[in-house]
């Protein structure tokens, strides 16, 4: 306790939030990557690196033809997205006081 603040609690919040967010965002991004496997690079992908205006035109990327994706990649992608779903359910459990 210094200046009346429980600094340890802040450190705990920081570390847990960092770990949880890193796991969720990483698995979600890996899920995207797995689902994109086998697909050709979408047109215009090279043109807009990073958060440029080109990268935001997601509809073009979504609309690009059928995907020939290996079954393993599909399974891995689903597993990755499942982490996100589990996190959301846990979040709901934390929010709703009636659950605990």
Contact positions vs another protein (CB under 8 A): 3-6, 9-10, 12-14, 16-18, 20-22, 24-26, 28-33, 35-36, 39, 41-42, 45-46, 48-52, 55-59, 61-62, 64, 67, 84, 88, 91-92, 94-98
Give the count of beta carbons closer than 10 Å to the beta carbon of residue 20. Answer: 13
Report the residue number, 29 or 75, with the smaller CB distance to another protein.
29
Give CA–CA dist 39/81, Å, rounded.
19
Give CA–CA dist 81/25, Å, rounded.
10
Q: Closest approach of Cβ 11 to another protein, in Å? A: 9
């Amino acid at each position: 306790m210094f200046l009346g603040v429980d600094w340890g609690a802040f450190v705990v919040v920081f570390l847990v939030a960092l770990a949880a967010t890193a796991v969720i965002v990483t698995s979600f991004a890996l899920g995207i990557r797995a689902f994109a496997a086998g697909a050709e690079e979408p047109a215009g992908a090279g043109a807009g690196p990073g958060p440029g205006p080109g990268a935001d035109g997601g509809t073009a990327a979504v609309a690009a033809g059928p995907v020939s994706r290996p079954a393993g990649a599909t399974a891995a992608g689903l597993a990755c997205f499942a982490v996100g779903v589990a996190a959301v359910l846990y979040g709901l459990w934390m929010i709703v006081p009636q659950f605990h």
